[in-house]
Chains A and B, each alone.
Chain A
């Protein structure tokens, strides 16, 4: 039973054409995260939501935005994708704070190609 679901699994977009990636969770977790993972690199945190509170990483480009309309869903919007934005985008959840010892559950990821 999938707990963190990402759609689509593969997405192709054109240079500069806005694209939205979606994530949903059945775990009822408070925290949802978006990571960018490029080939042979570690996942890099873009931002996360603790409930409705949005937390942006300092070095996340303005080109990346996120929305969390309810507990179950979170979206990643890339306003003007560049070739350098081609990557795997991973959604993850945790019940509560990682610093308090909660683990992260990752979705299967969406592989974004920019042409």
Chain B
């Protein structure tokens, strides 16, 4: 079935370093959403991108949606230990069939 590919699977950084995770789809997406799941927790909605080429920022987090609406990225500037968790991109196929990327597990060394 249709999938969203996400890389890398794991990322280990030193506190203060930057972090980026990428998602790619073979089909054009109506929108893409990003979620964060802390260890032992549940996914929490971060943001949604809808428009071609859209860029949104939340403090140290920058989200981008590609011009063709097939790829997206999340970039964290100057990571902190509170950023630890797994970041998932997710996109709806059909109306409510949400497909999640495999997730990128971020660990931050103090």
Contact = CB atoms under 8 A, between A and B. Distances in A.
Interface string B29-47: 0110101000001111100
Interface residues of B, number: 25
Contact of A55 (B42, B92, B96, B103): B96
Interface of B: 1, 30-31, 33, 35, 41-45, 48, 50, 88, 92, 94-103, 105
Contacts of B31: 98-99, 101
B69 to A, nearest CB: 13
Given A33-B96, A42-B88, A101-B48, 20 more contacts: A31-B96, A33-B98, A41-B102, A42-B103, A43-B88, A43-B100, A44-B100, A59-B1, A90-B42, A98-B31, A98-B96, A99-B30, A100-B95, A104-B43, A105-B45, A106-B42, A107-B42, A108-B41, A108-B42, A109-B42
A98 B92 contact: yes
Interface of A: 31, 33, 40-45, 48, 50, 55, 57-59, 90, 94, 97-101, 103-109
Contact of B98 (A40, A98, A107, A109): A98
A44 B100 CA distance: 7
A104 B88 contact: no
Among A41, A94, A98, residue most surrounded by chain B Cβ atoms (within 10 Å): A98
Contact of B101 (A42, A50, A57, A59): A42
